[in-house]
Amino acid sequence: MQAAAAADPIQPANGHRVVEMGAVNRFLDDILREKPARFSPENLREFTRNYAERLGSGGFGVVYRGAFPSGAQVAVKILNSTLDRRAEEQFMAEVATAGRTYHINLVRLYGFCFDATTKALVYEYLENGSLDHVLFEHDHRQRITGDDDEELGFDTLYGIVVGTAKGIRYLHEECQHRIIHYDIKPGNVLLTGDYTPKVADFGLARLCNRDNTHLTMTGARGTPGYAAPELWLPLPVTHKCDVYSFGMLVFEILGRRRNLEPQHNAVSQEWYPKWVWRRFEQGRFDDVATASGIAGKDMEKAERMCKVALWCVQYQPDARPSMSSVVRMLEGEEEIARPVNPFTYMASLHTISTSSSSGGSAFTAASGDSSQEFRGSRGSIGSQGW
């Protein structure tokens, strides 16, 4: 009798039944696992008030701001009317991947539209847009470096780094099937009103079983300047390609600038990650911090970010840490060994690239030694954050 009584909901004096917490949690879990909805073109016109507010555009199409009848804000990504085979594959990857994931640091896909006239994706709306706008656009950069605005101080940027790492960790280690993103970069990290980061744009993502450690690639993927060398060279590809790209993203947050920005006085035209490594190797991390305006209590976290980034961009994938280890190191829960030089391979790649007219651009894009490649990568896929 006692066991049966314990299993029943508690009966309060007024006779109303108290809802069991277990039942509520199961209901909420079912909601979170709900598949993305399929919307009609009429739905999209209703959500966007006939496409009244345009947020941005790119090679993929146009993004509009909208809202569900409930009031929830959404971003509606209308794809170009003609999709080639690769674009269709990316569309399907986005629905299959983002549609089965739910994490505070991943952009949520509410649904899609796919018919003869309209192809679209409907996401949650992120108030502060993409990280590349925050880091690289003039108005946002003034907010980062200005003395009168602490909202985008170092703690906020550090939080963006940790949150992004947790989002990638979820994809690699916490999903039922490992998900490799393939295109981690500032343009694919979106920010909420309080600057919580959310990884977006799963168009290049590929689902794989955790036991399948190596993948066969067909064609180069990712964005020059962020893509790991194995995505451009005849090397095995694993989830560690995302770790490399995350390291490049951390360098840009640490420097508060693009990794190659010839107009930047502090490091001239030298590639920023390599410049950071040389200063770190010489015991001159203060130079790195000074160039980014980092001082005082932020120095410890900044140096931690620097060490993690140097480990993430190691040439050999096996030398790169897992994303769970990255999170622990960033949060000070795991000791960070002294990094080794991640750029020793560049001299040989440069020699190969200059002697091969057919493969030169791929090698220089992977190594980061070519300023032309890096300048050319601006405005690439995902530059609008969608």
Question: Does the annotation place 274 within a ligand binding site?
Answer: no
Catalytic residue among 132, 183, 298, 369: 183
- Tell me the domain boundaries of the chain: 46-124, 131-344
pLDDT at 144 over 60: no
Question: Where residue 25 falls among pLDDT bands split at 50, 70, 90?
Answer: low
Question: Where residue 43 falls among pLDDT bands split at 50, 70, 90?
Answer: very high
Average pLDDT over every residue of 12-25: 54
pLDDT at 265 over 60: no
CB 295 within 8 A of CB 303: no
What confidence score (pLDDT) does residue 339 get? 96
| Non-local CB neighbours of 214 within 8 Å, separated by 6+ positions | 236, 237, 238
Same fold, 46-124 and 131-344: no
Active site residue 194: no
CB 198 within 8 A of CB 189: yes
pLDDT at 10 over 50: no
* Predicted TM-score of the model (pTM): 0.78
pLDDT at 345 over 70: yes
Please say whether the structural domain 46-124 has been given the CATH code 3.40.250.10: no
Beta strands in the chain (DSSP E): 37-38, 53-58, 61-67, 73-79, 109-114, 119-124, 178-180, 189-191, 197-199, 206-208
Distance CA 30, CA 34 (A): 6
Mean residue pLDDT of the chain comes to 79
> Could you tell me the fold of the domain covering 131-344?
Transferase(Phosphotransferase); domain 1 (1.10.510)
Residue 338 or residue 380, greater confidence:
338
What confidence score (pLDDT) does residue 8 get? 44
**pLDDT per position as a tens digit, 201-232:** 887 787 776 665 655 554 556 788 999 999 88
What confidence score (pLDDT) does residue 266 get? 54
